[in-house]
Structure 1
Amino acid sequence: MKKPLFLIAACSVACAAHAQSSVTLYGIVDAGFRYVSNAGGKSQYALAGGNESASRFGLTGAEDLGGGYKAIFTLENGFTTNTGALQGGLMFGRQAFVGMSTPYGTLTLGRQYLTLSGYLGQYASGTDWAARGAGWGYHPAGLDDVDGTERANNAIKFASARYRGFQVGGTYSLGGVAGNTTQNEMISAGVDYDGGPFKASAAYLFVKNPNYALFGNNATSSATGNNMSASPVFSGYATAASQQVIGAGASYVFGKFTVGGIWTNTRFNDLGGTVVTGVTTPASQRGKSVTFNTGELNLKYRLTPSLQLGVAYEYTRASSYLGLSGASYQQWNIGADYALSKRTDLYLIGLRETAGGFDSTGQRAVAALTFATPSKSDAQAGALVGIRHLF
C-alpha cells in the first residue's frame, strides 16, 4: 500500500501546483475595407486587416508564488490578416515581457508599452474606437505616442497597487547602444485615478533622439516603429536631440453616455542635435524647439446593448517655424460598432482631417491622416468597414 499512497501524494502536490499556474491564449482577427481620399492625389481602396483593432495573438501566464506574489509573462504577436505577415518582421512585435506581481505593485522587464500611452490612451478616440488598428484616428502622425504604437525595448516598468483609486507608474527604457546606455533612452511616468464613473490621468514622457528611439526602426532603437520621415507633420524635426510630452485626460460615465477629453503638449528640443540622413536643419533653426498642443473631446453613446455610437473632435496647433505660422490640424472621427455576440462585432468608421498654416517642411500644411498616404491638399477623408473577432 505504500507505493500507491506515495503516487497519490505526489499527484496531489503536482495537481495543486498546476492549479496555481495558468497560461491563456488570446487574440484578435480583424479585416475589412478601407477608403482614403486624396492619398497623394488619388483615391485609394483596399481590402485590409487590422482596421478597428490590430490583428494579434498572444500568450499570457501567471504562477502563484503565495503571499500575494505571482510570476507573470506576456508574449504578443501582431500580424497582417490578409497576408499573415508578422508585425515589423518580429515574432513578438507587440509585447514580450516577464515580471512579478506583488501586493505593492507590478514590475516587468522586456518590450512594453510606455506608461504615458497606458495612462492617457484610454481617453483618446483613436485608441478606443476610431480606427485604432489602422491608426487613422490618432493625433497627427502619432506625435504624442498616446496611441502606444511605439513600444519600448529594453524596458523596466513598474505600476503600483491602487490605493483609494490612485495608481502611480513609470517606465525606463535603456537605449540599447553599446558603450552608451543613455543614448536613445526613454523615461515615462504618470498617475492614474479610477473612481468608478470618473477617471483621470496625467503623464510625462522624455525621449533622447526620438527619430531613432521612439519612432525608430533599426536594431539600435529603443522602439521599432515608424521613423519621423513618414509624415510631413514632423519629418522636418527628425534631427531633434530630445522630445518631451506632458498630458492629462479624463472621462465620465453617466447613463448610456461616456464623455472624455485629453490634452497633450509635445515639444521637440534642440533641432539639429541628432544626425539624420536626408534631413537638414536650417542654420537659423539649429538649437531651437518646436511645440505641438493637441486637444480632443469625444462622446460615446450606448444606443442599445449591442450598438455603440461615437463622435470625436481633435485640434492640434504647432508653434511657428522658419518665421512662418505653424501648422494646424483639425479632425472629426465618427463611428458605430454593432456586437453580433460577445466575441464578434461589425464596425463602420468615418474620418475627416483639414490642415492650415505651414508644416515641418516649410511648405503649406497638407492633411495627413496618421499612417495614411498624405494628401496633396488641405483636406483628406477616410472610411473603414469590417468585422472583428476576439478569442
Structure 2
Amino acid sequence: MKKSLLAFAALSTFAGIAHAQSNVTLYGIIDEGVNVITNSGGKHLYNLSSGELQGSRWGVRGTEDLGGGLKAIFDLENGFDVNSGKLGQGGLMFGRQAFVGLSSQFGAVTLGRQYDSVVDYLGPLEVGDQWGGYIAAHPGDLDNFNNAYRTNNTVKYTSANYNGLTFGGTYSFGGIAGNLTSNQIWSLGASYNNGPLILGAAYLNARTPSASGGLFNNGGTVATASTAVTTSIYSGFASANTYQVIGGGGAYTFGAATIGATYSNIRFDDLGATSASPFKGQSVSFNNAEVNFKYQLTPAFLVGVAYDYTRGAQINGASRAQYHQGAVGVDYFLSKRTDVYVTGVYQHALGDTLNAAGQTVDATANINQLSPSSNQNQFTARIGIRTKF
C-alpha cells in the first residue's frame, strides 16, 4: 500500500512539472496544384507546383508561462516543395521563420529570422495574401507585400492589441565587420482592425539589398547582385544602395462582401552601388495601386476579383514601364482545414525598363515567381488543393 502511495505521489509530481513546461504545437500547410502558363520564356508550360495559395510548410511553435504575465515564446517554421521534397527559401532548414523571445501584456520582443512590418501590417490587405496566392501578388512582389524576402538577424517588437490598434517595428543587424549600415534593414508599421474596417500602414528600408546577406539575397545560397533578383520587373534596379517601401491600405466589409485597396511607393536609391551599371548613382521609384473585392457566397464558398496597376521608373527619358494585372479566383472549403481553389491571373506590360545588365529594353510581362514572358502578355491559371494541420 505504501509503495502504491509513493508511486502515485511521484507520478503526480512529474505530471505537475510537465504541466508547467512549454506548450508546444506542431502545425503545417500542404498546398499543391496544376498550372498552365501561356508564355514562359516564349513557350506554353503545364506543371505541378507547391505552395501557391500559401507556402507549403511545417513548424513548431511554443510558449512557456514564466509567471507574472511573462511568457517565453518561439517559432521554427520550415518551407518545402511537395513535388520534390526539397527545402524552400534557398535550402534553409527553417527558412520561413526562426525566432525566440518574450511576451507580456505590453507586447512581444523576438530575435531571429522574421517578417518585416510591411509583411505584417500590409500583407493581409493585398489579394496575394488572401484568395489569390503568390501569382496574384503585385508584379515581382516589388513592394514585398507578399513576403518575397525575409529578414535575418532581426530584433522585432510587436505591441499588444489596444482596442483594435497594433503597431511594431524591426531592426536587422547587417553583420558586416567594420560596417554598421551594410545590409542593415529596419521597418515600422501599424494597423487598426475594429469591426468592418481594417487600416494599415508600414515603412521598410534596406541597405545594400543585393549584397550577400542583404534583403534580396539572404537565403541559403550565395548569389551576386545580378542573380539575387530574377524578376524582370526590377532586376535592373536591384543594384541600388538602398531599397525603400512606403505603403498603406484598407478594407471594409459590408454583409458578405469586402472591398479593399492598397498603395505603395517603392524607391531604389543610388543605382550601381553593388554592381556595374551605366546609370550608377541615379535613383528611381515605382508606384503600385491595387483594388480588390471578394464575396462570400456561402460560409464555405467565396469568389474574388482584383486589379493592380504598377507605374515604373523614369530612366534617361525612356518611356516609363507600366504593368496592368487582373486576377479572379474561387475558393471552396470542404472542411475547416481543407479547401480547393481556382485562380487566374493576366498581366500586360507597356513601356521601357532596365534589364539586369543595366540596358534599356522593352518591358515584358512577368507574373510573380514565374519565368518572364517573351512579350508584353502573360496568363496563368491554377487548380489547387490546400490542407492545414
TM-score (norm 1): 0.92
The residue identity in structure 2 corresponding to 1:45 is Y
Q: 1:185 to 1:3 in 2, by over 3 A?
A: farther
Spell out, residue by residue over 1:230-261, the C-alpha distance to the aligned partner (whole angstroms, 9 max, x if none): 02211111221101110001111111111111
Partner of 2:265: 265
Question: 338, 341, 349: which one pairs with 2:332?
Answer: 338
Q: 1:359 to 1:266 in 2, by over 3 A?
A: same
Partner of 2:352: 358
Partner of 1:187: 186
Three-state SS of the structure 2 residue aligned to 1:136 is helix
Is residue 2:199 matched to residue 1:206? Answer: no
Partner of 2:343: 349
> Shift of residue 180 of structure 1?
2.5
Spell out the pairing of 1:153-302 with structure 2 (5 A cutoff).
Answer: 153-212=152-211, 213-217=214-218, 228-273=228-273, 275-276=274-275, 280-282=276-278, 285-302=279-296
Is residue 2:150 matched to residue 1:151? Answer: yes
Alignment check: 8 A CA contact 1:197 1:253 kept: yes
Spell out, residue by residue over 1:170-193, the C-alpha distance to the aligned partner (whole angstroms, 9 max, x if none): 001111223334210100011111
Alignment check: 8 A CA contact 2:311 2:320 kept: yes
The residue identity in structure 1 corresponding to 2:284 is V
Three-state SS of the structure 2 residue aligned to 1:303 is strand
> Shift of residue 93 of structure 1?
0.9
Q: 1:158 to 1:90 in 2, by over 3 A?
A: same
List runs of 5+ in structure 1 lacking aligned partners: none
Alignment check: 8 A CA contact 1:118 1:148 kept: no
Q: 1:55 to 1:195 in 2, by over 3 A?
A: same
Alignment check: 8 A CA contact 1:245 1:265 kept: yes
> Shift of residue 219 of structure 1?
6.4
> Shift of residue 384 of structure 1?
0.5
Is residue 2:82 matched to residue 1:86? Answer: no
Partner of 2:62: 61
The residue identity in structure 2 corresponding to 1:33 is V
Q: 1:270 to 1:305 in 2, by over 3 A?
A: same
Three-state SS of the structure 2 residue aligned to 1:363 is strand
Alignment check: 8 A CA contact 1:151 1:224 kept: no
Three-state SS of the structure 1 residue aligned to 2:124 is helix
Partner of 1:44: 45
Alignment check: 8 A CA contact 1:217 1:225 kept: no
Q: 1:329 to 1:92 in 2, by over 3 A?
A: same
Three-state SS of the structure 2 residue aligned to 1:16 is helix
Partner of 2:131: 129
**CA distance in 2: counterparts of 1:4 and 1:151, whole angstroms:** 55
The residue identity in structure 1 corresponding to 2:33 is G
Is residue 2:317 matched to residue 1:323? Answer: yes
Three-state SS of the structure 1 residue aligned to 2:365 is coil
**CA distance in 2: counterparts of 1:162 and 1:51, whole angstroms:** 30
**CA distance in 2: counterparts of 1:350 and 1:80, whole angstroms:** 21
The residue identity in structure 1 corresponding to 2:171 is Y
Q: 1:291 to 1:259 in 2, by over 3 A?
A: same
The residue identity in structure 2 corresponding to 1:129 is W
Three-state SS of the structure 1 residue aligned to 2:216 is coil
**CA distance in 2: counterparts of 1:151 and 1:139, whole angstroms:** 17
Question: 382, 386, 389: which one pairs with 1:388?
Answer: 386
The residue identity in structure 1 corresponding to 2:255 is G
**CA distance in 1: counterparts of 2:312 and 2:345, whole angstroms:** 21
Alignment check: 8 A CA contact 2:322 2:349 kept: yes
> Shift of residue 360 of structure 1?
2.0
Moved more, 175-184 or 115-124: 175-184
List runs of 5+ in structure 2 lacking aligned partners: none
> Shift of residue 225 of structure 1?
12
> Shift of residue 141 of structure 1?
1.1
Spell out, residue by residue over 1:326-363, the C-alpha distance to the aligned partner (whole angstroms, 9 max, x if none): 11111001100111111111110000000111112311
Three-state SS of the structure 1 residue aligned to 2:85 is coil
Partner of 1:76: 77
Three-state SS of the structure 1 residue aligned to 2:16 is helix
Alignment check: 8 A CA contact 1:218 1:224 kept: no
Alignment check: 8 A CA contact 2:52 2:135 kept: no
Q: 1:219 to 1:308 in 2, by over 3 A?
A: closer
Alignment check: 8 A CA contact 2:149 2:216 kept: yes
Partner of 1:374: 372
Alignment check: 8 A CA contact 1:260 1:297 kept: yes
Alignment check: 8 A CA contact 1:336 1:349 kept: yes
> Shift of residue 302 of structure 1?
0.5
Partner of 2:299: 305
The residue identity in structure 2 corresponding to 1:244 is Q
Q: What is the percentage of aligned positions where both structures have the same residue?
A: 47
Partner of 2:29: 28
TM-score (norm 2): 0.93
> Shift of residue 51 of structure 1?
2.2
**CA distance in 1: counterparts of 2:319 and 2:148, whole angstroms:** 29
The residue identity in structure 1 corresponding to 2:294 is K
